[in-house]
Amino acid sequence: MLKEALGTGATIEEAQAAAIAELNAPEDADVSIEVIEIPVKKTLGIFGGNPAKVRAYYEEEESGPAEAFIRTILEGMGIKEFKIEIEELENDIHIQLECGDEVSTVIGRRGETLDAIQYLTRLNISKKTEEYKRVLINVGNYREKREATLREMATRNAQRVKKYGKNVSLEPMNPYERRIVHTTIQDIDGVSSHSVGSDSDRRVVNSSSDGNKTFSESRPQSGGFRDNTKSTGNAPSKSVAPPRTNSAPRTSTAPRTPKSDASSASRYGKIEPKKD
């Protein structure tokens, strides 16, 4: 990719210095200079005259599809000043970005924008090279700060698990962040971790690994007898007697003769038939 810049000045040397400063090329870049216009002095110091114009340029070497793709994304986001450094390992590609005052724009809320750029870059590389490589993109020292935050959060929630014996579910994370949490939990006795969910909702759950009862299981069960005696010296309250049990079998009684309707007629007197 050709990078170029123009500079003007009263002399060719001044125009050349202005063009190089505008180009802002790396120290190891092979910069070429082209004089476009030579300076022309004014007639009688008043009329006409032109400054010198110089073009400075160099061929920028791209580090492969990763840099070209990220450059396209950043330029599409309206970010004008940025620097991309790429380190390719056997199975990993580490990319370091410097974006000046636009760091927060590239990172996004909780790193969501940066993670999206990272994910799309990995897909693009896999498509063009037909091989899988893990891509890790960092902006400034965001990843280092995020790792420290995740380790602190994992440790804090592990202590809650040990104290209450209750599972603790963390917020959804990408695979890289989940690995940080799992690694942190491995160094804590009595706590284990596993992942649940799928896609963007996949998260880490910390749980007890020493067989402790959960918080809900450790609560006293209802239905038992309670001692209502107070320690103030007052008379104890009346305790509830346990249910009675009949040890002797119930004796059978002779069945009662059902009442007939006639047996109760005398209570109301004799009913005479009505005469016409």
> What integer best gives the mean pLDDT of the chain?
77
pTM of the model: 0.50
Indicate if 147-208 has the same CATH topology as 65-140. no
Q: Assign domain 147-208 to its CATH architecture.
A: 2-Layer Sandwich (3.30)
Question: What crossing angle do the helices spanning 112-129 and 65-76 adopt, rounded to 10°?
Answer: 140
What is the per-residue pLDDT across 170-212, written as a single tens digit (0 to 9) for each?
988 888 899 999 999 999 999 999 999 988 889 999 999 875 4
> What proportion of the chain, given as a percentage, has pLDDT over 90?
41
Q: Residue 128 corresponds to which tokens in the numbers above?
A: 């063009």
Give the C-alpha separation, 230 to 237, whole Å: 8
- Of the given ranges (29-38, 88-97, 244-253), which has the lowest mean pLDDT? 244-253
Of residues 198 and 222, which shows the higher confidence score? 198
Return the half-sphere exposure (C-beta side, CA atoms, 13 A cut-off) of residue 107.
18
DSSP β-bridge partners for residue 193 = 206
Query: Are the C-beta atoms of 125 and 68 separated by less than 8 Å?
Result: no
In the chain, the amino acid numbered 101 is D
Of residues 262 and 122, which shows the higher confidence score? 122
Q: Residue 149 corresponds to which tokens in the numbers above?
A: 């935050």
Give the C-alpha separation, 193 to 199, whole Å: 18
Measured over the CA atoms of residue 162, residue 168, residue 173 and residue 178, the dihedral's sign is positive
pLDDT of residue 21: 92
Fold of 65-140: GMP Synthetase; Chain A, domain 3 (3.30.300)
Q: Residue 67 corresponds to which tokens in the numbers above?
A: 């840099």
Measured over the CA atoms of residue 101, residue 105, residue 110 and residue 116, the dihedral's sign is negative
State mean pLDDT over 147-151: 94
What is the per-residue pLDDT across 73-124, written as a single tens digit (0 to 9) for each?
999 999 988 999 988 888 888 999 999 888 999 999 888 899 999 999 999 8
Domain coordinates in residue numbering, the chain:
2-59, 65-140, 147-208
Which residue do the tokens 């346990």 mark? 242
> Which positions ≥6 away from 30 have C-beta within 8 Å?
58, 59
Give the C-alpha separation, 62 to 84, whole Å: 10
Measured over the CA atoms of residue 106, residue 110, residue 111 and residue 113, the dihedral's sign is negative
